[in-house]
Every structure is written in structure tokens, then in C-alpha cells.
Amino acid sequence: MNKAYRYRLYPTTEQRIMFEKTFGCARFIYNKMLGDR
């Protein structure tokens, strides 16, 4: 039996900005590495 958990975050404005920056950098690096293959 597989279980799935779903989480929802309610970040403050400051936390939301930090998440956006972090995920933006991770997305950039991921796409860069895919392009360099």
C-alpha cells in the first residue's frame, strides 16, 4: 500500500521571498546541468 502526504506552507513574506530565490537558483542550476549533458 502506498501512502501520499500533502503539505501546505503558509510562509511569511520574508520566507516566501527566500523560497523564491532558493527555488529559482535550483531551477537555474538544474536546467544548466541538463543543457551541459
Residue 5: per-residue pLDDT: 93
DSSP per residue, 1-37: ------------HHHHHHHHHHHHHHHHHHHHHHHH-
Q: Which residues are CB-neighbours of 11 under 8 A, at least 6 positions away?
A: 19
The pLDDT of 23-29, averaged and rounded, is 97
| CA–CA distance, 24 with 29 (Å, rounded to integer) | 9
Is the per-residue pLDDT at 10 higher than 90? yes
Tell me, yes or no, if the pTM score tops 0.85.
no
